[in-house]
Structure 1
């Protein structure tokens, strides 16, 4: 990998995913397509967040370790280029854990508990007061990730905005202690795509809930997922007028079908009656089968050469260790800890 590959790029982007399972269509719409485009105009690092994956999976660490290369294969299969984007492993960057420790002294428990994203996830996971300390403090860990790369732009969904707000609070505290500019504040890059619902229409698509279509899904898995998709429960007969709002099939057609005018005509037909759910599902299935086939084949090819994936991850982690070590040194200066 060319270590000088980013010299002509201006803005630094940090993004990433927890290594708790293979990536799915929700990731593709929400971030992966955007990352492929951004790598041509920005200095982009993607962090495979294995340490954060353990914050709610420490009882089953294999769930994280076994998915690290799955996630890397997903990145490459959709078009992320390791000569343009640095892909690194969180646990291989010692500066991140050390920065997390320093930052944790600047954040109160009550502030963490007020974070809307954390509150929501604590509730959804049923932790109550049994929340792992690592999970409660992962906004601090995210702040360490972002600042360690001096990232000024972070692609996120709107549910992650409180995390960036907390990162910037920490940045301001460090800069105030230093009495000079040490760290950059970051701003969000919100995805233009709507959040993709689960196939059952009840929740967002999730690795843990089993309601997602993975990027490596087989033909049979895609077919079964589309057939089970939630439509309009009141659209009982073909001749009935149907509702496209909340209809998962049409949400997916909007997200993935390349012919917008054709989908617009389908919606009109469905809403006036005479178009069955079976027909719309067949159209969607054909679309997804064609889109995912090359990704699945590329992904399979990559996973058959795990040495290549490990090499990409090792080289990206080495580059990232050097970058993050410099920021760590700057922060240790603020606390007067560089005494040798």
Structure 2
């Protein structure tokens, strides 16, 4: 059995905005206190759509890492690294590609969806088609148990699970597997061995999912087993061979509740975003010039908050008394739009203040960021190399 581990990454596409914070980073910050976490800059993934202009990748990478640290990602709790600095990702991607059916890649929903959204780019490349496979390698190489994703990414996690299952089925049947399984069962002791065999039969013959859970717990608690024997017995239990690659679970995260300044999804490309560490004066100006309910042409005109983008920000940044004040004041024309916007300004600036403070030490001393990433890359690579030893051996590539 492998320890619970969380893996997630982001493409370096420039400065992060508050939509990223509310949509992903807040979840990362919470999870880093609950489980071992690895967070990586997906610079190779950035090339799948920006291969013709990679000039912004390096600068965007360092900016993004500073944003992560500013938001509250703690390098003492989480491993922060750069994808391309762990070349084992590419090796596993290559080896997985040898046995991945082409149809699996073509059926990923985001494949055609992204081609339509990015119609101005030439995406008829293997890199773009193989994006989900590289994404799978990013996770499977750390034998991660959980991947935080939104609902739209669930098909990618399902594909990762299928790939792990296929790999274990193809390559997990080592020579003498059945004999080694029987030897491992004997190490459990007679009582635990009987329980294991009974639970395996209940799972495989009757489809009892709870039997699988009980059997896994039994193996977890068996002090007499080596890690390899646990893997063999788990594979025997599930009807495969050794569990070389772990099937990750999707950890559903809340969708961002923070819209952009115009009410649409916050996005730099829409010009409606507030950067994580944006200047105070710029933030104030952006919010004060936000569009409001079109019905409020004059100060004396009543409005409807539900039709106003500012109200959506109040839902995130204002307390209940303030929201009641807005609802009553807007509908009665008792307050003006500038008055209504001020609590949002105050809320955003208050949220950003500690981020700016945390970021300053890294802006003053960029060497600190490099050292954090260097240490993270070394830690991630050690885990990745351990997986690749097993993968190469299973595929007959362990030359001696």
Q: Report if TM-score (shorter chain) is over 0.5.
A: yes
Which residue does the alignment assign to 2:273? Answer: 212
Which residue does the alignment assign to 1:5? Answer: none
Q: Secondary structure at the match of 2:295?
A: coil
Which residue does the alignment assign to 1:254? Answer: 315
Q: Distance in 2 between matches of 1:213 and 1:147?
A: 34
TM-score by length of 2: 0.76
**Unpaired segments of 5 or more residues in structure 1?**
1-8
Alignment of 1:1-340 (within 5 A): 11-126=4-119, 130-177=123-170, 178=172, 179-202=241-264, 204-245=265-306, 247-257=308-318, 259-271=319-331, 273-340=333-400
Offset at residue 97 of structure 1 (A): 0.6
- Rg bigger for which structure? 2
Q: Secondary structure at the match of 1:220?
A: helix
Mean alpha-carbon deviation: is it higher for 320-329 or for 132-141? Answer: 132-141
Q: Distance in 1 between matches of 2:306 and 2:3?
A: 41
When the two chains are superposed, the root-mean-square deviation of aligned CA atoms in Å is 2.3
TM-score by length of 1: 0.88
1:223-266 C-alpha deviation (Å, 9 max, x unpaired): 23213434333343445443333633222222233x23422442
Which residue does the alignment assign to 1:6? Answer: none
Preserved contact between residue 69 and residue 303 of structure 1 (Cα < 8 Å):
no
Offset at residue 58 of structure 1 (A): 2.1
Preserved contact between residue 22 and residue 258 of structure 2 (Cα < 8 Å):
yes
Q: Distance in 1 between matches of 2:291 and 2:100?
A: 43
Shift in alpha-carbon separation, 1:236–1:109, aligned structure 2, 3 A? farther
Offset at residue 19 of structure 1 (A): 1.3
Q: Secondary structure at the match of 2:391?
A: helix
Q: Distance in 2 between matches of 1:115 and 1:234?
A: 44
Offset at residue 213 of structure 1 (A): 1.0
Offset at residue 218 of structure 1 (A): 0.6
Offset at residue 87 of structure 1 (A): 0.5
Offset at residue 316 of structure 1 (A): 0.5
Offset at residue 56 of structure 1 (A): 1.5
